[in-house]
Amino acid sequence: MSFTLTSPITGGAQTGFTTPAYVIAVDTAPTSAGKQYAVTSFTGTQTGVDPNSSPSNPFTITLSRPTTLKTVGAIDPVTGALKSVPRNSYKIIVRKGCLPLAGQPKSVLNATLTIDVPAGADSADAANIRASMSLLIGSLNSISASIGDTLVTGVI
């Protein structure tokens, strides 16, 4: 699997952060079809942020693919169209312990990105798969601080 992260990871811009970067270490993924990394430390100004420290206070990223990849189904002999198009779901999950209220235990924030790729598109239309990821990642990177602000203020 080519989902491999190298340390440190340069973080996206966020309000109140200066040059965020995250030092990661290989962690144990929940399944054999995934890779997981834990944030062991970070650089830049990120006041109040803590690294991965326990199951109740994680700071991890998990990258996974389907355990079994699906293939294109049968073609209807009358219409010549595919009877169904199965999908292969890839996921990127970030978990971070967050304090819901002073004096209370951490609660885990989960951010999950699911990418459902039509079976067969990997070989029949790789360019458009790549274009969709280019747009997605470029857009998220360009609005990184805005996403963080929205999650903090509730204003979109």
Structural domains of the chain, count: 1
Q: What pLDDT sits at residue 2?
A: 77
d(CA 77, CA 89): 28
Q: What pLDDT sits at residue 1?
A: 46
Residue 141 lies in a domain: no
Residue 21 lies in a domain: yes
Q: What pLDDT sits at residue 4?
A: 87
Residue 62 lies in a domain: yes
Q: What pLDDT sits at residue 83?
A: 87
Two structure tokens written together for 60: 């991890």
Domain extent, residue 111, equals: 9-68+87-119
Residue 136 lies in a domain: no
Ranges of the chain with pLDDT below 50: 1
Residue 29 lies in a domain: yes
Residue 100 lies in a domain: yes
d(CA 10, CA 124): 33
d(CA 81, CA 70): 18
pTM for the model stands at 0.90
Residue 36 lies in a domain: yes
